[in-house]
Amino acid sequence: MKKVLFLLAITLCLSATAQKKVINSKTSYAREVLQPYVDRGELPGAISIFYNNGVQEICCVGYADVEKKRPIRLDNVYMQCSQTKGFCGVTIAKLVEEGKLSLDDPVSKYLPEFNELWVQDSDKDGVKTLHKAKNVLTVRMVLNHTGGFPFEISAKRNDVRGGGWSGGAPIRQVASIAAASPLMFEPGTKDLYSNTGIDIGAAIVEVITGMKWENYLKKEVLDPLGMKSSWFWPTDKQLKKQIEMYDTHEGAPATYRLENGWEQRPYNDKHVFASAGAGLWTTAKDQLKFYKMLMNLGMGDNGVRILKEETVKSILAVSTRPERLGGYSLGLNAPKKDGENEWFGHGGAWGTNCMVNWHKKQLKLWVVQLNGSQPWNDAVNKAAEKFFSQAIDTSGIDAYTGRTK
């Protein structure tokens, strides 16, 4: 009996760490269109990954640091910025799945300071006219940008502070400041893209779990998926190999940018706070694990289940907004209605993007750190069309092989 139990334990351990088989497409569609831009210096470097039901094309072209001629690689860290929002969406979805939260719960159920809210009607000569909010602010509203919150609270906005962003504020403090500030419109009636709303969602996670949001994310999502290089404070060693930032100029070489106004160096000291709206550093290798989990309806490529299939289908892969307000789910761009040709995912401020189609098991991942025009986008889209239109052999794809390190 002991021998049987031992073998069963070994089997479970192996299945939990198995890596799903991926076939190299042996194509170079992305590289063919991107290399000329790199050769002219217009594109410093980029990572493109196309995935189609087990067949994958990976393109790492150009440099993470042009001056040092350091090639761009899958394990280079970079700021994914707003792609962090989808991670918050997953943590909310987990609590919904576990029955600890309903998307239609009032935010005030978890954060009492939101019990009374005010909506701004006008702002003339510095005098604001307000009225008491009539609609109840719900959890789904703060996660799908229909809560009425500004992009950032005053404590974080660079136009208020007269300079760059200070690195943020603690998530619970962000929520408290937001509750004391006027809303831009009645909750649920319009949409306004807002890091603040996502941080409020993270504050709700903190109240329910009794953990800091970033620690809950690490425990329930990052660690189980094996995302060892993703965190809000990259190490000094990681930053030595980061993908540097550049300003692009159509028809001319890109120029180096030391930092941006929203997240200033040093990137990992005490002035930096975790933000669910935009703050998680990652690598292409790690980000691929997260989005493949979404594509596989909650199952990581390493065999670890993060969410149930129905959870992903119902509140992540399809919009949670009123139909007239366009498509968006919980921290993720999503279609109004599900369909076999529909994609969901998210982009980030410095040009990153990843979208998945769970019906066809397809994925498109794009990594750059650029500010400015990106004239190669149409060419990359055409390269993707070529890749996804080719016939593929999927025999043996469902097998899992090897073990993650």
Mind listing the domains of the chain with CATH numbers?
A: 24-99+210-391 (3.40.710.10)
Angle (CA) 367-370-372 rounded to 5° is: 135
Residue with structure tokens 């719900």? 138
Q: What is the pLDDT of residue 296?
A: 98
Q: Where are the beta strands (DSSP E) in 53-184?
A: 55-65, 70-71, 78-79, 118-124, 127-132
Please state, as a whole number, how many other Cβ atoms lie within 10 Å of the Cβ of residue 172: 16
Alpha-carbon distance 186 to 189, whole Å? 6
> What percentage of the chain reaches a pLDDT higher than 90?
81
Helix boundaries (H) for 154-248? 158-161, 171-179, 195-209, 213-217, 223-225, 236-239
Residue 21 contacts residue 396 (beta carbons within 8 Å): yes
18 Cβ partners below 8 Å, 6+ apart?
Answer: 302, 303, 400, 401, 402, 403, 404
Residues in the chain, pLDDT under 50: 3-17, 159-166, 396-397, 399-405
Instruction: Give me the DSSP letters along 224-249.
Output: HHT-TT-BSS--HHHHTT---EEEEE
How many helices (H) does the chain have, and how many strands (E)?
A: 13, 16
Q: Where are the beta strands (DSSP E) in 209-361?
A: 245-249, 252-257, 281-282, 344-347, 353-357
| 334's tokens | 């999503």
pLDDT tens per residue across span 259-269: 877 777 889 98
pLDDT tens per residue across span 115-153: 999 999 998 888 889 999 999 999 999 999 999 999 998
Coil/strand/helix, residue 75:
coil
Angle (CA) 129-151-140 rounded to 5° is: 95
Q: What is the pLDDT of residue 375?
A: 96
Alpha-carbon distance 187 to 201, whole Å? 15
C-alpha atoms less than 13 angstroms from C-alpha of 191 in its C-beta half-sphere: 17
pLDDT tens per residue across span 146-156: 999 999 987 77
